[in-house]
Amino acid sequence: MNFKFHVLLILPFFWAINSLHAQKNKQKDSIQLRDLFVVLEKKHEIKFSYNDKLIKNKFVENSFINLPLNKVLDKIAINFKLRFEKITERYITVSKSGKLYQISGNIFDKKDKKPIEGASVVSLRRNKGVISNENGFFKLSNLIEGDKVEVSFIGYDTKTLIVNEELTSEQLSLILSESTTLLEEVLVSDYMVGGIDKKTDGSLVISPKKLGTVSGLTEPDILQSVQLLPGINSPDETASGLFIRGGTPEQNLILFDGIKMYNSSHFFGMISAFNPYIVDKVKVFKSGASAEYGNHTSGVIDIETNKEIPKSFNGGFGVNMTHFDAFMNIPISKKIGISLSGRRSFTDVFKTNTFNRLSKKVFQNSIISRNESVGTELYDSKNDFYFFDVNSKLTYKPSSKDIITFNYLLVRNKLNYVFNTKNSNRYITEDDLQIKNTGIRTMWERKLGNNSILRTNFYSSTYDLNYEYNGSFDYGSPYTQKALKSNIIKDLGFKSVFEKKLNEKSSFLTGYEFSNNSVSYSIERGVKSTISSTKYKIADSGNNNSHAWFFNYGFNNYKKTIVNVGVRTNYFTLSDKVYFAPRIYFQQQLLPNLSFKTSFEFKQQNIGRLLEVHTSDFGLENEVWLLIDNEELPILRNKQYTFGAIYKANGLTFDIDYYRKYSKGVTSATKATEGNIRGFYQGTSKVDGVDVLLKKSINNYNTWVNFSYSKSRYIFDEVNNGKFFSTNFDTTNSFLWAHNLNLGNFSFSLAWVWKTGTPYSPVERIENNGNLVLGDLNSKRLPAYHKMDLSSSYSFNFDKNKKWKGKIGISLLNLYDRTNYLRRSYSSVWDGTKYSIQQSEQLSLGMTPNLVLRIFIK
């Protein structure tokens, strides 16, 4: 044999030896797929079902054992073209998958056809996905035939796709619809402007995150935004002084994530106590509220934060001319998320022009403004004021059917005012006022099948007001003065609601609510000198348990016929009586774009807020909360009827309501009669009104007109000869014309407001003892109120990936600096020789600018 022949014989032998050695090394660093399955079954308590031929002689790296299950299966599926399908929580089948696919396309909003940025597109088998970009575009690879792909975005219905050849052959155009709960189908979207929708249950829903620029505001203040709606008025220009169809502010029910709020504002009403950047939606009922809501006789403002677990960290921070704030949403895991937010004023450190304008309005006719008018030559003063609020929420989803949330809320305002003579202690006074509202809630929501939900809440709300005045005077005969005032509410509650969708057209909810209200107030005043001392104290406390059962049925025949009917029974232990509160909302389509609507409701309330005169010389917070026992104070009862129509076509919306409200159990010790009546009386009220909205949309421009006619009157047998008279805050006519325009990253808003002046009682004469003799109660009116507000904002990106976004904005309240009169009253003044009449007036805000800078992080 020659040499070449020997080489040919030896080469296969060496190749076989080398292959055997390589295989031994491979087996040493890897594990057979069959053996890996055995390890995974024991480790994750699962069971694989497969054909042995599929995995024969297949090896994977030993490191696969330590990977999470979904990543292991994903790698195996790609490497060996296998398909894993989860049959139950325990059993997984293995089959041949064939080739890999890729899907791509764009995601749009069904309502406005705009692309949705940030939507999730996830392969359920691989538990991996992508996020759509600013154009709504996405691309997802390494898919196998039969894979389920879930497309979702917060606030929208989830869409599920099944991967096949046809699905991957072209670019997809996916449309997502806004999600709704059982009774929250949208009747009119963009009711006035983007972010305000009208629901089929008669409510109006404001979504702050979608709300455009609001005239006069740099940021979407919750309670100021509510005032955009027809029929809701704030005669004193505050955020919290909401008169909903003639009802007084304390008659409103305000909920924050199910927590009852007794103080809903900062800076004595000028700023809402709720951070708008953590709020998901604000549901407003002017009438026809669901039987689920109780213990109020006017409107409902139900504020909800987001209960979804964030996919990734996001947050933001900002500063304007009164305060700064920050918020963040943090995903701890796929099942746990945390939301944190906080706001604090910097007015105790640095006072801006905006704060000074607000202060001038807030402190007018108070001891602070009277002292300041004396001048600074002889006296010094120090006014330290600040506010803050914090909110935290933990969301836990132990399963696809359960959501558990924990909330904590703290709202606080503090003012300390010192006034004294310069370089001496001959005259020194100090006023200290603290107002705090804390709230805690635990909520468990469970889906009982596809069409039922059980929702259970436990909450605690505590309101705490403390005012202390100390005065020391030394003008030859030294003496001191002291005044104390406290008002405390402790509200504990439990509520369980069961909702069920019977079919495509009807659903119902039913439930039980328990609450315990412990309310107390104490007012003390005293004078002490070297000669004598005087002191008096007024105090009261009460405790009431409320039990309520409620039922609500909803029917919606594709928006042609809408019926929401309910009943609520209330039992108050303090009055030992049962009250029935029926509710109904009905709407019928008459023509394709025209519908008729009507509602009726009957309500009761056993907690109220009355004026007290003992600390009124301070000029701020001269009201106290107290329980109504139906003996000294009658249970407040109200019934309301409404009739109206709504028309919507081609970007035009016309909505009109006529309403009539009757209330029994009203007293003369409320804001609506302040200063006009001497004595305590019981009576009734009557409100007749019309609310009109006319809105037109043209591309990126919206304009709307709100007009409200409201005649709010009281009657007391012992007052005004037993005749009806207008309430102090009766605003007969109110007109608003607003404009919103979006141009790229710029947004503009302009609004003009005109209102009838509020009424006042003229003085006929003053008697020798200083008593004022009034003419007919509230028979005169102040000049008409009008102003123009302007806002503008610009949004921008800090980086190409748009992870950091910014916004700057400016607003001007009362653009042409109109002097508006809000209130007028009279008092008698002794000048040492005789009494004279002194007229005092409360003026509106002058031209007030504000600036904002915000940063958003995705």
Exposure string for 429-449, b = 16+ CB within 10 A, e = fewer: bebebebbbbbbbebbbeeee
DSSP string, 336-349: EEEEEEEEEE-TTT
Asked, for residue 710, whether it belongs to a domain, the answer is yes
With CA atoms as reference, report the closest residue to 290 among 514, 505, 589, 499. 499
Asked, for residue 558, whether it belongs to a domain, the answer is yes
Model confidence at 26, pLDDT cuts 50, 70, 90, reads: very low
When mean pLDDT is compared across 174-188, 455-469, 567-581, the lowest value belongs to 174-188
With CA atoms as reference, report the closest residue to 326 among 335, 334, 337, 317. 317
Say what the pLDDT of residue 378 is: 81
Burial of 334 (0-12, 13-18, 19+ CB in 10 A): exposed
Please state the φ and ψ torsions of residue 674, each to the nearest 5 degrees. Answer: -55, 130
Asked, for residue 67, whether it belongs to a domain, the answer is yes
Instruction: Confirm if 777 and 676 have CB atoms less than 8 A apart.
Output: yes
Same domain, residue pair 299 and 374:
yes
Same domain, residue pair 381 and 502:
yes
Same domain, residue pair 105 and 82:
no
Model confidence at 179, pLDDT cuts 50, 70, 90, reads: low
pLDDT at 609 over 70: yes
Mean pLDDT of 695-722: 91
Same domain, residue pair 656 and 797:
yes
Say what the pLDDT of residue 814 is: 95
Mean pLDDT of 566-594: 94
Final residue of a domain: which of 78, 96, 114?
A: 96
Final residue of a domain: which of 40, 70, 96?
A: 96
Asked, for residue 539, whether it belongs to a domain, the answer is no
Q: Hey, what amino acid is at 30?
A: S
Same domain, residue pair 164 and 263:
no
Say what the pLDDT of residue 25 is: 46
Q: How many Å apart are CA 607 and CA 138, to the nearest integer? A: 54
Number of domains in the chain: 3
Say what the pLDDT of residue 94 is: 82
Mean pLDDT of 848-853: 95
Same domain, residue pair 697 and 625:
yes
Mean pLDDT of 168-187: 73
pLDDT at 641 over 80: yes
Cα torsion through 667, 669, 672, 674, rounded to 10: 150
Asked, for residue 1, whether it belongs to a domain, the answer is no
pLDDT at 484 over 60: yes
Say what the pLDDT of residue 24 is: 45
In this predicted model, what pLDDT tens digit does every residue of 218-273 receive, in sequence order? 888 899 989 989 999 999 999 999 999 999 999 999 999 999 999 999 999 899 99
Report the mean per-residue pLDDT for the chain: 88
With CA atoms as reference, report the closest residue to 618 among 369, 384, 428. 369
Q: Residues with Cβ < 8 Å from 805, sequence gap 6 or more? A: 795, 796, 797, 798, 855, 856, 857, 858
- Domain with 87 in it: what CATH number? 3.55.50
Instruction: Confirm if 158 and 150 have CB atoms less than 8 A apart.
Output: yes
Q: Residues with Cβ < 8 Å from 6, sequence gap 6 or more? A: none
Say what the pLDDT of residue 744 is: 87
Return the percentage of the chain with pLDDT > 90, whole number.
52
Say what the pLDDT of residue 60 is: 84
Count of Cβ atoms closer than 10 Å to residue 151 Cβ: 24
Same domain, residue pair 34 and 172:
no
Return the percentage of the chain with pLDDT > 70, whole number.
95
Same domain, residue pair 644 and 507:
yes
Say what the pLDDT of residue 245 is: 94
Same domain, residue pair 383 and 339:
yes
Instruction: Confirm if 285 and 299 have CB atoms less than 8 A apart.
Output: yes
Say what the pLDDT of residue 158 is: 83
In this predicted model, what pLDDT tens digit does every residue of 383-406 receive, in sequence order? 899 999 999 999 999 988 899 999
Say what the pLDDT of residue 98 is: 66
Final residue of a domain: which of 77, 96, 115?
A: 96
Cα 388 to Cα 180, 438, 723: the distances in Å are 33, 12, 46
pLDDT at 2 over 70: no
The angle, 0 to 180 degrees and rounded to 10, between the axes of the packed helices 33-44 and 69-80 is 160
Say what the pLDDT of residue 379 is: 85
Asked, for residue 181, whether it belongs to a domain, the answer is no
Instruction: Confirm if 811 and 218 have CB atoms less than 8 A apart.
Output: yes
Asked, for residue 209, whether it belongs to a domain, the answer is no
Say what the pLDDT of residue 187 is: 80
Say what the pLDDT of residue 424 is: 76
- Domain with 113 in it: what CATH number? 2.60.40.1120
Same domain, residue pair 90 and 105:
no
Same domain, residue pair 131 and 75:
no
Q: How many Å apart are CA 172 and CA 177, to the nearest integer? A: 16
Mean pLDDT of 131-147: 86
In this predicted model, what pLDDT tens digit does every residue of 34-45 receive, in sequence order? 888 888 888 888
Segments of 200-322 assigned E as strands:
204-206, 232-233, 243-244, 253-256, 259-260, 265-266, 271-272, 279-285, 300-305, 314-320
Model confidence at 32, pLDDT cuts 50, 70, 90, reads: confident
In this predicted model, what pLDDT tens digit does every residue of 729-771 receive, in sequence order? 999 999 999 999 989 899 999 999 999 999 999 988 888 888 8
Model confidence at 213, pLDDT cuts 50, 70, 90, reads: confident
- Length of the chain measured in residues: 858
- Domain with 283 in it: what CATH number? 2.40.170.20
Query: Which domain, by its residues, includes 152?
Result: 100-176
In this predicted model, what pLDDT tens digit does every residue of 46-70 receive, in sequence order? 888 887 877 888 888 888 887 888 8
Asked, for residue 537, whether it belongs to a domain, the answer is no
- Report residue 507 as tokens: 């659903």
Cα 35 to Cα 22, 31, 95, 568: the distances in Å are 20, 7, 17, 64
Same domain, residue pair 88 and 233:
no
When mean pLDDT is compared across 360-374, 437-451, 460-474, 777-791, the lowest value belongs to 360-374
Classify residue 115 by its DSSP letter: B
With CA atoms as reference, report the closest residue to 38 among 14, 56, 13, 65. 65
Instruction: Confirm if 290 and 510 have CB atoms less than 8 A apart.
Output: no
* 152 or 793, greater pLDDT: 793
Q: How many Å apart are CA 695 and CA 232, to the nearest integer? A: 17
With CA atoms as reference, report the closest residue to 158 among 149, 167, 166. 149
DSSP string, 403-422: EEEEEEEEEEEEEEEEEEET
Say what the pLDDT of residue 458 is: 97
pLDDT at 14 over 70: no
Q: How many Å apart are CA 371 and CA 807, to the nearest integer? A: 40
Three-state DSSP class for residue 490: strand
Please state the φ and ψ torsions of residue 483, each to the nearest 5 degrees. Answer: -140, 135
Mean pLDDT of 638-667: 93
- Report residue 282 as tokens: 């604000």
Residue position matching structure tokens 């309330």: 605
Q: Residues with Cβ < 8 Å from 198, sequence gap 6 or more? A: 186, 187, 188, 191, 204, 205, 646, 655
pTM for the full predicted model: 0.80
